[in-house]
Structures are given as structure tokens and as C-alpha cells.
């Protein structure tokens, strides 16, 4: 058995460690002494940009055995479509999982953009289709569509995109729906016949799971307590016309021993500062956001009190932007927990660690080789 293991690319900027919230690597950080990207030397920019740092992370992840990288999309990040096109030249086999919300892009244009990337990269485009969590971030995009209607729109978007992708086979695709209308749509001849990007579909609500059952090649969930994940996967299976596949997004803090990993976490926890919810953290109407925090309702403020299962820790959202749960422990323990997820039916992961560059090398060198399944290698 093989598993596809992706590494998250820090579109919003990177911290030097979990102990320091301030981003000094990439994103839109100011040019200040001590920053790595953009860097300042002798009071002048040194020419090493945040795009250069993202490319360095992608190359390190590729060399460390990851099949590709997730490019997330938030109001405060670069555009992942543009980033994928930029980073493709710096990698050879690395796939780019582009996160996007269908409401902000017409499916005909999405099909053309995707086919162009597939042609330019040799088929290295992957979709992370998200429908948005509501709240201030959703309004920042100018989107006022209600929660369940966003998933209905996403489902229709994918119907149209797939129809346009194969439109050359039928003389053009025509659709008159609730959200989209096209007549005779098809890709230009030079972009036909390419593989449709694999669809990773995110969302925890009943509406999301129903849409995922129709469209997902892989259903992508944030990491949760394992029994809750098993229940969610069972719901997706019930609603899927074909046997579904599953992926999990998880933070990783792995060291040579359990003690080293927990010591690192304690130092970060002790020095944490107040944070604002962004980068996927505003509550809005996101069911996944509420689910993640519901498991921690009685956890308290002690660092080990947030360990809801052995090695499964729920406080990462206090140390960096993003979901709460991740795996903590020795290389062997983290690999064992990933293997348990594989036993639940997971055959793909989106992993992350802070800082992304050093942790990509660490996880790739010391955790991936211990998995019972073989990490996939792009053809």
C-alpha cells in the first residue's frame, strides 16, 4: 500500500518556532533586521524574497519524500494559483494542492487555468475545494451566500467544471443551473485530453459531506480524536456512490524522544501570547471549526490536559494560525499514530510543522520512513 503525503506551504508567512508567534519568513512581513524573507543585511534588502523562501520549502519537501504541498488561501496570503505557477519551475515532481473557493472563480475559467497548469507542469495540479467558513473572512471576499447554499454552489461548480473539461468529447457542454449557465463550453484544442486534477474536498457539515460524496476523490478532514474521525468517515461512505478515499490534515511535532517533543511544546505553551482568530480560525458558520474546539471544552489550560488521546494534542491553534489538533511525540510514536489513521482508511496526509523548512526535513527524514505504508512518489 502507498500513501500520498503532502506538506503544507506557508502562504501566510512562517514563524521561526512555535515559541515565537511573529512571522519572520515570508508572507507580508516587514523588512526588519533578523527577517529571513524578505531579508535585510546592513540595512538593505538582500534580495531573498518570500517567494524564494516558499521555493526553498517546496524543494526541501520534495527531496524529503513528500508527494506535494498544500497551498492554502486566506485574505492575508498570496494567491495559490499564482504561487503554484511560480513554484513549479523550482521543483520536478512536486504536486501543488491549490486551495480555492468556487464562489470566487467561474468554473469555465477554473477549467482553463487548471488545464494550463496541467500542461505546463506535467499534470501536477491538485484541487483542495473549500466552501468557506462564513464570518468576517467570507465577507472579506464579498460572499454573502448562506452555509448550505455554498455547498450547493460548490457541487454545481464542479459539475460545470467537469463538463467543460470533457466538452470537446460532446461538441460543447451546456448547463442552465441555479448558480451557473454556460452554452457549448469546451477547452481549446491545445488544452484537451489532460488529466482532471484530483479533488480533495473539505467540510464537516451534513451539506459538505453530501457534496463530498458526489465529487471528492479524497475527503479531507482536519485531525480530530480518532473515534470522531471514524464516525465522520462512515457518514461519507454512506453518502458516496463509489467507495471514497480519505485524507487528514495534521500538525506534527516530532523529536527523537517523547520527552524532547513535550519539552519543546511546554516551552512554547509557557511563552504563548494572546492571538486573534484568522488564517482559518474565525468561527463564522464553520462546522469544522466548532467541532475541533468542542473536543477541548473540558481540557483546561494545562499543556498535558490538551492531550485528548496519547500523542494527540489540541492546542496548536494557540501557537500558530490554523486547526487545533496535531501529533506530538517521538518519531516512532508519531509514525504509529499515523499508521493508526491509515488503519481507519486514510491513504493521504497533509502534514505541517513550524518552521516549515526545518520540519519538512525532520519529518521527511525521520517519520515518513517509519510508516507501514510506503509514501507515494509522483510518476
Most confidently predicted of 75-84, 88-97, 209-218, 269-278 = 88-97
Q: Give the model's pLDDT for residue 142.
A: 73
- The answer, yes or no, to whether residue 201 has pLDDT greater than 80, is yes
Eight-state DSSP code of residue 168: G
Q: How confident is the model at residue 278 (pLDDT cuts 50, 70, 90)?
A: very low
Q: What is the pLDDT of residues 149-171, one digit of tens each?
A: 999 999 999 999 999 999 999 99
Q: Does the pLDDT value for residue 11 go beyond 50?
A: yes
Q: Which domain holds residue 253?
A: 2-375
Q: How many CB atoms lie within 10 A of CB 331?
A: 21
Q: What pLDDT sits at residue 375?
A: 87
Query: Residue 49 has what pLDDT?
Result: 82
Total domains in the fold of the chain: 1
For range 267-278, the mean pLDDT: 68
Whole-number Cα distances in Å, 313 to 91, 155, 229, 283, 292: 33, 33, 15, 20, 11
pLDDT tier for residue 282 given thresholds of 50, 70 and 90: very low
Helix (H), strand (E) counts: the chain: 11, 18
Q: How far apart (Å, rounded) are the C-alpha atoms in residues 164 and 173?
A: 6
User: Global pTM?
Assistant: 0.90
CB of 122 closer than 8 Å to CB of 92 = no
The mean per-residue pLDDT over the stretch 283-305 comes to: 60
30: domain CATH number?
Answer: 3.20.20.30
What's the confidence (pLDDT) of residue 22?
A: 66
pLDDT at 172: 97
Residue 281 has pLDDT above 50, yes or no: no
pLDDT at residue 275 tops 60: no
Q: Per residue in 212-269, pLDDT tens?
A: 888 999 999 999 999 999 999 998 888 888 878 999 999 999 999 999 999 999 999 9
Instruction: Determine what percent of the chain is predicted with pLDDT higher than 90.
Output: 61
Please list, in sequence order, all residues whose beta carbon lies within 8 angstroms of the beta carbon of residue 282, skipping any fewer than 6 positions away. 133, 135, 136, 137, 289
Burial class (CB in 10 A: 0-12, 13-18, 19+), 149: middle
What's residue 277's pLDDT? 43
Residue 345: left (phi > 0), alpha (psi -120 to 50), or beta?
left
> E strand or H helix at 246, and its extent?
strand 246-255
pLDDT tops 50 at residue 33: yes
Grid coordinates of 365: 527524514
* Residue 139: per-residue pLDDT: 73
Does residue 169 or residue 205 have the better pLDDT?
Answer: 169
Count other C-beta atoms under 10 Å from residue 270's C-beta. 9
Q: What is the pLDDT of residues 98-143, one digit of tens each?
A: 999 988 899 999 999 999 999 999 999 999 999 876 666 777 777 7
State residue 280's pLDDT score. 41
pLDDT at 276 over 50: no
pLDDT-derived band at 286 (thresholds 50, 70, 90) equals low
Q: Is residue 182 very low, low, confident or very high in pLDDT (cuts 50, 70, 90)?
A: very high
Q: How far apart are CA 131 and CA 153, in angstroms?
A: 9
Q: How far apart are CA 212 and CA 349, in angstroms?
A: 17
Structure confidence by residue, pLDDT tens digits, 340-360: 999 999 999 999 999 999 999
Banded pLDDT at 20 (limits 50, 70, 90): confident
- Predicted pLDDT of residue 298: 56
Average pLDDT, the chain: 87
| Whole-number Å distance between alpha carbons of 307 and 314 | 6
Cβ contacts of residue 72 below 8 Å, gap of 6+? 8, 9, 11, 12, 80, 99, 128, 279, 280
Instruction: Select the more confidently predicted residue: 109 or 297.
Output: 109
Amino acid at each position: 500500500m502507498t500513501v500520498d503525503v503532502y506538506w503544507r506551504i506557508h502562504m501566510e508567512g512562517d514563524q521561526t518556532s512555535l515559541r515565537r508567534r511573529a512571522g519572520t519568513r515570508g508572507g507580508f512581513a516587514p523588512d526588519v533586521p533578523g527577517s529571513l524573507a524578505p531579508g535585510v543585511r546592513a540595512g538593505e534588502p538582500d534580495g531573498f524574497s518570500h517567494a524564494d523562501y516558499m521555493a526553498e520549502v517546496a524543494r526541501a519537501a520534495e527531496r524529503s519524500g513528500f508527494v506535494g504541498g498544500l497551498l492554502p488561501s486566506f485574505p492575508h496570503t498570496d494567491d495559490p494559483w499564482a504561487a503554484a505557477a511560480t513554484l513549479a519551475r523550482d521543483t520536478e515532481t512536486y504536486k501543488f494542492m491549490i486551495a480555492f473557493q468556487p464562489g470566487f472563480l467561474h468554473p469555465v475559467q477554473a477549467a482553463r487555468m487548471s488545464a494550463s497548469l496541467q500542461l505546463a507542469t506535467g499534470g501536477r495540479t491538485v484541487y483542495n475545494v473549500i466552501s468557506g467558513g462564513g464570518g468576517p473572512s467570507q465577507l472579506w471576499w464579498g460572499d454573502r451566500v448562506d452555509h448550505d447554499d455554498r455547498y450547493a454552489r460548490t457541487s454545481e461548480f464542479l459539475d460545470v467544471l467537469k463538463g467543460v473539461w470533457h466538452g470537446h468529447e460532446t461538441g460543447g457542454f451546456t448547463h442552465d443551473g441555479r448558480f451557473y449557465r454556460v452554452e457549448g463550453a469546451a477547452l481549446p484544442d491545445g488544452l484537451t485530453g489532460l488529466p482532471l486534477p484530483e479533488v480533495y474536498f473539505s467540510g464537516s457539515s451534513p451539506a459538505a459531506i453530501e457534496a463530498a460524496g458526489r465529487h471528492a476523490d479524497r475527503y479531507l478532514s482536519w485531525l480530530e480524536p480518532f473515534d470522531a474521525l471514524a464516525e465522520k468517515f462512515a457518514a461519507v461512505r454512506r453518502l458516496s456512490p463509489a467507495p471514497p478515499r480519505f485524507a487528514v490534515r495534521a500538525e506534527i511535532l516530532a523529536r527523537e524522544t517523547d520527552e524532547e517533543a513535550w519539552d519543546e511544546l511546554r516551552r512554547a505553551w509557557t511563552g504563548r501570547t494572546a492571538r486573534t482568530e484568522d488564517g482559518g480560525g474565525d468561527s463564522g458558520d464553520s462546522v469544522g471549526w466548532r467541532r475541533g474546539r468542542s473536543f477541548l471544552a473540558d481540557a483546561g489550560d494545562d499543556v498535558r490536559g490538551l492531550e485528548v488521546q496519547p500523542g494527540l494534542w489540541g492546542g496548536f491553534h494557540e501557537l500558530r494560525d490554523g486547526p487545533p489538533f496535531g501529533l506530538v511525540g517521538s518519531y516512532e510514536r508519531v509514525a504509529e499514530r499515523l499508521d493508526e489513521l491509515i488503519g481507519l482508511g486514510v491513504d493521504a496526509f497533509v502534514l505541517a510543522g513550524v518552521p516549515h523548512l526545518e520540519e519538512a526535513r525532520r519529518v521527511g527524514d525521520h517519520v515518513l520512513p517509519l510508516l507501514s505504508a510506503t509514501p507515494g512518489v509522483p510518476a
